Structure 1
Amino acid sequence: MTTVHQLRKTSWTSTAARRWRSIDLAEAARSVVSNVVGPGETLPLTRFAGALVFPVVEWRSDSLWMRLDRGLSPLLHPAAVGEVLSRSGWCRDYPSVLSMVGFIGVAPLSQAREELAGLRSMGRTVAMTPRWAAASSLALAEFDLQGTAVVSLEEELQVLVDGDAGIRRGSAMSPVWRRFYEEQLFDWAMKTDSLPTSTA
């Protein structure tokens, strides 16, 4: 059980940099949370479960404070998570510090739809696209069927597809894997100094 699974900073390709050349993506993602996703805080851009996204989380402040105070690091292996969840005492010692609210994708729409499909079992999904990158009505219909919102960005945010709130019905994952992904995001927040300011 020596292998750990950690998220890492994502480097832009020259094509991606040109695509988003005039947009502050972090600020845009926060705007999407306020206007589309609902309550939650964005974490920095990363490749999560194969998708290039800004994760959106809600913090459980009491649990977070307890974990940080006791120096209990994130559980970065599914077997370690399974062991914690199988023992009631360990669950109290290692409470979950956050819940996954959603994911905001920044890949080109043709790629984003496929990437975000796998995240519908974890939370709400939103694909962001620059205004100049026109989307066909068929492409938008496919996002709608998937339950993923689509927003167009430039000077202001425009919702092209509303999407569905929460996880996709019937797609909920096992408690072990859900908690494992939460622990990955906890680790990512610590690495990028993105913990809530009251507890950082």
Structure 2
Amino acid sequence: MNRSSKLAIFIALATIASSGSAYAQEIDNCWYGPFGNKIKNGTNELCWKNNITDQQKNSFKLSIDKTIIKRSIFFDFDSSNIKPESRIVLNETIDYYKNKKNHINKITSTGNSDSTGKESYNQNLSERRAKEARKYLIENGVDSKKLEIYSLGSKNPIASNETSEGRCKNRRVDIEIISEKNKN
């Protein structure tokens, strides 16, 4: 690469980086600088172009390979017993698993607690909650090899621990189902 080409690349990159507003023009697919000037090569003949042609832009299709479903179940203060209303959410998870069994990579059960008490106790309580949810899923037909548990204690609140209502929302297990559309 000769010196003028290197200089042209440097100037083009410096212009783009310093302006923050260089953009691709769709008409001729050239790059333009912050003042509307076409960014050209060192010999001032050719413009810098995008790698995407108009034909590629029109044929591009977004393909989503993974689906992630998140649900939460809630617990009473200082308890790892699954509430009846939480069983409904777990049963929906089990139904989804049975219908999509071959496409599911994993299901995670992440236990959480409010910030009442010592963190070491909350960590243990959140682990017991995650294990109870996992146990319920296994007892109702979910493959244990696809289940993972995590416990976060009070480190991941979704509401303020300053109010009773907020603490209730933080005493939970988050269930996450990760599946692939084309997995056999």
User: Which of the five TM-score ranges fits, normalised by the shorter chain?
Assistant: under 0.3
TM-score, normalised on structure 1? 0.22
From the CA coordinates, give the structure whose radius of gyration is larger: 2
TM-score, normalised on structure 2? 0.23
